[in-house]
Chain A
Amino acid sequence: MELHVHDKKIINQLQGGFPLCENPWDELEQTLEIPADEIINRIERMRSEGLLSRFGPMYHAEKMGGGLTLAAIKVDKSRYDEVTEIVNSFSEVAHNYEREHELNMWFVIATESPELIQQVISSIEHKTGLKVYNMPKKHEFFLNLKFEI
């Protein structure tokens, strides 16, 4: 799929930062040399097509007082669907991916407070009978804010 050059410009520019001011579109019109209405329409279209998963501020869960971790389980192929259903049933499980490894189910748990992480993990272990490997980040290195397309 080929994106219009204006779509690319908008994505590349706006990952870096949307201006926090009363007339953000006027400022972007200057920077991107694309009319403000066109920028709004293109974002709207790309969002409805799913090319953009979000437009707005991204909050830092832990700094807001929440808990966040990455967890993994080794699931036998014969039980994979059943275990997926149990894990996904937790509203605290935000993302869940199947990956190629003995540890073949990887999911992100996000909770309102850090203490709740352990409760969710214990509950998943209890319901599945499987060990949950809890891998919270110990250090976050430079996070690339821009993904050039």
Chain B
Amino acid sequence: MDLFHVISDAGVRGLRGLKMLAASLQQIDYKLDDVDRRIISATQSGLPLTKRPFDDVAEQVGVSVTDVITRMQQMTDLGIIRRTGVVPNHYKLGFKSNGMSVWQVPEDKIIQLGEKVGALDFVSHCYQRPVFLPEWPYNLFAMVHGTTHEEVKGKVEKISELLAKDDNGHQILFSTRILKKTGLRI
């Protein structure tokens, strides 16, 4: 993303946008170094569930615990680490229905509309993606989870009401089978 887009992007995002702008600007000069990379490789499959997890990472990496914490905080501020914590398995927790809702919305309003949809508490991911005309006109994707298909359909209806006249067509693609799922979570 170039500077112009970073700034115009921040404009529509308000305060959160400003924080992202600050992170993007810092990032222009930021390169991961060897210590960062060693911390990443020691933690990418998870943190140890011990009394002092960062001490254990420090020992493995060969730096001080303060260094580990400082680097991880810095990577978090820069968005390289999205967050640190637990990732629930929606399916196992009873959210058996997973609907990828796809939307055709006006391209010139997509940033504002995407922000609104993404902020809904039942939408876990929201992205603008390329279209393949005429067969695939959907430029906005929103992932919706629920305990049943009916519940997901009801939530998708709420998105449609929110988009109102900007909903130029949508579909829900329910997943019918998990064909592969590796440990990688991004």
Contacts and interface: CB of A to CB of B under 8 A. Distances in A.
Given A53-B185, A58-B186, A107-B180, A143 B125 contact: yes
B47 A55 contact: yes
B121 A59 contact: no
A24 B175 contact: no
Contacts of A65: 32
A144 B81 contact: no
B184 A96 contact: no
Given A53-B185, A56-B45, A141-B128, A22 B55 contact: yes
The DSSP consensus for interface residues of chain B is mixed
A58 B123 CA distance: 19
A95 B47 contact: no
For chain B, which range describes its interface: under 10, 10 to 19, 20 to 34, or 35 or more residues? 35 or more
For chain A, which range describes its interface: under 10, 10 to 19, 20 to 34, or 35 or more residues? 35 or more
A57 B71 CA distance: 12
Interface in B163-177: 171, 173-177
B72 A57 contact: yes
Interface string B35-59: 0000010011111010111110000
With most chain A CB atoms within 10 A of its CB, the pick from B88, B132, B182 is B88
A59 B69 contact: no
Contacts of A46: 86
Given A20-B76, A22-B52, A11 B88 contact: yes
A61 B84 contact: no
A18 B84 contact: yes
A145 B87 CA distance: 9
A15 B111 CA distance: 26
B126 A57 contact: no
Given A143-B126, A147-B90, 6 more contacts: A14-B85, A16-B85, A46-B86, A57-B43, A93-B180, A96-B179
The 10 closest A-B pairs by CB, nearest first: A141-B118, A56-B46, A142-B118, A54-B87, A139-B128, A56-B47, A98-B177, A96-B180, A96-B179, A141-B114
Interface of A: 1, 3, 10-11, 14-18, 20-25, 36, 40, 43-44, 46-47, 49-61, 63-65, 68, 70, 84, 87-88, 93-101, 103, 105-107, 110, 133-145, 147-149
